[in-house]
Structure 1
Amino acid sequence: MRLLIEHGWQELSEVDVAVVQIRGIHFALYRLNTSLLKGTIVCVLKDTEDDEAAINTLLTALGIGPDAVTYRGNVRSGEAQ
């Protein structure tokens, strides 16, 4: 696992960002410091064949279950769960 932490990210204003690579999958975990939402947002940074499997890889690496996820959306397709 590789981990890179930043305190700003392009045009998202002030954020805390961790960029993680696990098994060749790149994730960005970030929290918008100016938002009322206090949850952590997770993005799969590169296209994968199976986004669901990618998220499961991250959850397994973090040792947390799928119940920790409160919202799932796909920016590319506009779908939400």
Structure 2
Amino acid sequence: MNIEFTEDGINQIADAAWRVNETTENIGARRLHTVMERLMDEISFDATDKAGSTLVIDEAYVNSKLGEFVEDEDLSRFIL
């Protein structure tokens, strides 16, 4: 499986990490690791079934996978 990141997708990932750091404990760049882990969670389990396909990670994809966690401070504290 190929994964392509669009510029707006990368910006949205960075924004999500920053927003969670602002509303919970600021752990710096380590937050980016947990955000990426959450974003790639489903992909890592399905990748072998989708060999040869390409997934584009854009702003809409990031919002669909992380939006609930970023917006809900309680979820952010325990999951991100």
Normalised by the shorter chain, which TM-score bucket?
Answer: under 0.3
Hey, which of these two has a bigger chunk of strand by percent? 1
Higher RCO by CA contacts (8 Å cutoff, separation 6 or greater) = 2
Hey, which of these two has a bigger chunk of helix by percent? 2
TM-score (norm 2): 0.24
TM-score (norm 1): 0.24
